[in-house]
Structure 1
């Protein structure tokens, strides 16, 4: 997906990292330098009660560096939101979300995706994580009040989805090749691939696309906006964060 965004000239930002497999159960995972999890940031600075407070303290509100960090945040949020929706990445608590020095969000730990979830219960039913504190960095709130950066986020999500949709078969093939690997994320069997394909909404043929491309694009825009609306400070997402806070002390 990072390659797809780059090929299309889109500013959606992802941080791929290398994994060197050493056995069926072990691997060496590349370190991502100059980052800290959202949980560790809050633990390190007790006076900071929200991610917005951290941005204000680190980048100085209304300064050029603050605006650059916000833009970096939005571009990475959009990239990972589309990735998390299409691949159904779960276990998105604040210990699995990193922040780099430039303000980018980076997701790690992809042990739950496609068809498996923590505790075998799909508690994180929202398309992707879009909690109040993430929205506040975009000058929005839990209600999704319009702002320059939140509107930019919406535009990027739409562009990212339309672009990934053009390369759906390329993505689906990579996933399908691993269907018989025995990985836990394929516990759903062939339905895992079927559901992945459904999330791309590929109901129209190429012939139809050339005739009604504008209408199709409008349908995709409506779809992505509905995904964002469904994710806005979703109750089940907040409850999963609360569960992690109580059980594992992850803030």
Structure 2
């Protein structure tokens, strides 16, 4: 048996005895496994760092690991050990900067513990290699929110972090050459002007706000052909649809939705497509970024192993304190919007839109609903998003479900954490009518849904550590989802690392059956309908 096969995946060694066996095998064959990054967690441990283990001397010769694994070594548990840090920096430098931008929120947080300024040094070097990396980093630096006075238990430590961020931002900008500085100024000036429209609208009566948006949009000029959407750097902006501006309802200041004309950076410049974005002011969207990072990781995992599950990790980017840009999911309506045109449930709506049950178009839409519902069932089990009323559930024009708005995840929920939504994911009666025509969990489509949920959950478990690391690195960020309980410990528990694959599969089946039209979901929809007028 080859060494790579022996330690091909960490999930194969769940359990104390197996981990001991693997560690023993690694130490006996340390030179043979240096080309296997998956072996690293079995000998680079906080204890190895505390003991300054001789095994750490092998790190200069070790193959580069994944970015998420490298970031785990930046946590305080590894105490900035010189050999570990040298390896981490080598790994990060081995990836194109644009690949690393996905983990920018986590890299910014590691600056809290960067006493040797090694991470800062890497970030500054990467900004010299990529304008996009520099821009995304600056937006995230600007997006760190200053906590209210007296609300931060680590105020002294946090103050030092918040003082560092503008200094890093200045060093990045000071390092730009003339061309890079010109690109930066045009990109940021354009989107700062769009975002600032919200402040102009705030004093206006509601009935005048849409006209006010158009007046402001007409004033904004697009300079150059290299301006791009901050949430999607591969989309170049060719213009603004000045009549598209819509003021949105919000408890915060006036968010606005604006549609841009965009083209793919590497595609046909004549293939212009619309892309709407929401610009928020007075609303911290960093938690949405974290939730969508996990959803994007799950989407990549499902694709890599060939599981037909659908997730849509739309773009979100903080651009300043309590400011941000959110991509609008194209070709979608919320479930509450669908309820404005019909009194029927999803089954009736699908028949209106796609034809009678049994027709090719209807069954294709049903299949799309199944694969997307299963994808979000797995994501919801792990993230525990609450506030799942019908305004936060979208359906696209081919029948796929998309969840939006992740203001309550992990340990938090609306209504002072009264936890009305006790099911792991929303599976209302009208959803089960599509998933399970039999009504008694016997339909072929229900069995398909269960199988997809199980496959997705088992695939996610194999990448448990990377997902947990991505979340855990944000623990000091001050995000509401970390404000109570044990969010990281409970996230790990939901992966059930102590279970065999068969046990984990049975657990996921139980989760699905438990969610099947659970009364608390229907009850929460009723509360939303009464309080906010959101259709059930």
Give the TM-score taking structure 1 as reference length.
Answer: 0.91
In structure 1, the residue corresponding to 2:320 is in which secondary structure? coil
Q: 1 CA distance for matches of 2:440 and 2:301?
A: 28
In structure 1, the residue corresponding to 2:423 is in which secondary structure? coil
The residue aligned with 1:60 is: 355
1:130 is displaced (CA, Å) by 0.7
1:59 is displaced (CA, Å) by 0.5
The residue aligned with 2:381 is: 85
Q: 1 CA distance for matches of 2:378 and 2:524?
A: 20
Q: 2 CA distance for matches of 1:59 and 1:72?
A: 12
Q: 2 CA distance for matches of 1:18 and 1:177?
A: 20
Q: 2 CA distance for matches of 1:115 and 1:221?
A: 24
The residue aligned with 2:488 is: 193
The residue aligned with 2:498 is: 203
Residue ranges of structure 1 left out of the alignment (5+ in a row): 205-215
User: Which of the pair has the greater relative contact order for Cα pairs under 8 Å at 6+ separation?
Assistant: 1
The residue aligned with 2:345 is: 50
> Bigger shift: 131-140 or 227-236?
131-140
1:32 aligns with 2:306: no
> Bigger shift: 159-168 or 219-228?
219-228
User: Per-residue displacement from partner, 1:195-243 (whole Å, max 9, x unpaired)?
Assistant: 0000000126xxxxxxxxxxx2221121011101111111111110110
1:25 is displaced (CA, Å) by 1.0
Structure 1 residues 29 and 144 mapped into 2: Cα distance closer, same or farther (>3 Å)? farther
1:247 is displaced (CA, Å) by 0.8
The residue aligned with 1:220 is: 504
The residue aligned with 1:131 is: 428
1:72 aligns with 2:368: yes
Q: 2 CA distance for matches of 1:229 and 1:22?
A: 41
1:23 aligns with 2:307: no
Structure 1 residues 144 and 114 mapped into 2: Cα distance closer, same or farther (>3 Å)? farther
In structure 1, the residue corresponding to 2:339 is in which secondary structure? helix
> Contact 1:129–1:231 (CA<8 Å) still a contact in 2?
yes
1:145 is displaced (CA, Å) by 2.9
Q: 2 CA distance for matches of 1:145 and 1:164?
A: 25
> Contact 1:135–1:144 (CA<8 Å) still a contact in 2?
no
Residue ranges of structure 2 left out of the alignment (5+ in a row): 1-297
In structure 1, the residue corresponding to 2:406 is in which secondary structure? coil
1:122 aligns with 2:406: no
In structure 2, the residue corresponding to 1:15 is in which secondary structure? coil
Q: 2 CA distance for matches of 1:69 and 1:180?
A: 42
Structure 1 residues 68 and 196 mapped into 2: Cα distance closer, same or farther (>3 Å)? same
1:137 is displaced (CA, Å) by 1.3
User: Per-residue displacement from partner, 1:60-116 (whole Å, max 9, x unpaired)?
Assistant: 122111111000000000000110111111111111000000100000001100111
1:2 aligns with 2:286: no
The residue aligned with 2:97 is: none
The residue aligned with 1:248 is: 532
User: Per-residue displacement from partner, 1:125-148 (whole Å, max 9, x unpaired)?
Assistant: 11111111001112436x543112
Q: 2 CA distance for matches of 1:71 and 1:177?
A: 37
Q: Rg bigger for which structure?
A: 2
1:231 aligns with 2:515: yes
Structure 1: 4+ residue segments shifted above 2 A: none
In structure 2, the residue corresponding to 1:22 is in which secondary structure? strand
1:41 aligns with 2:325: no
Q: 1 CA distance for matches of 2:437 and 2:381?
A: 21
Q: What is the aligned residue count?
A: 236
> Contact 1:144–1:232 (CA<8 Å) still a contact in 2?
no
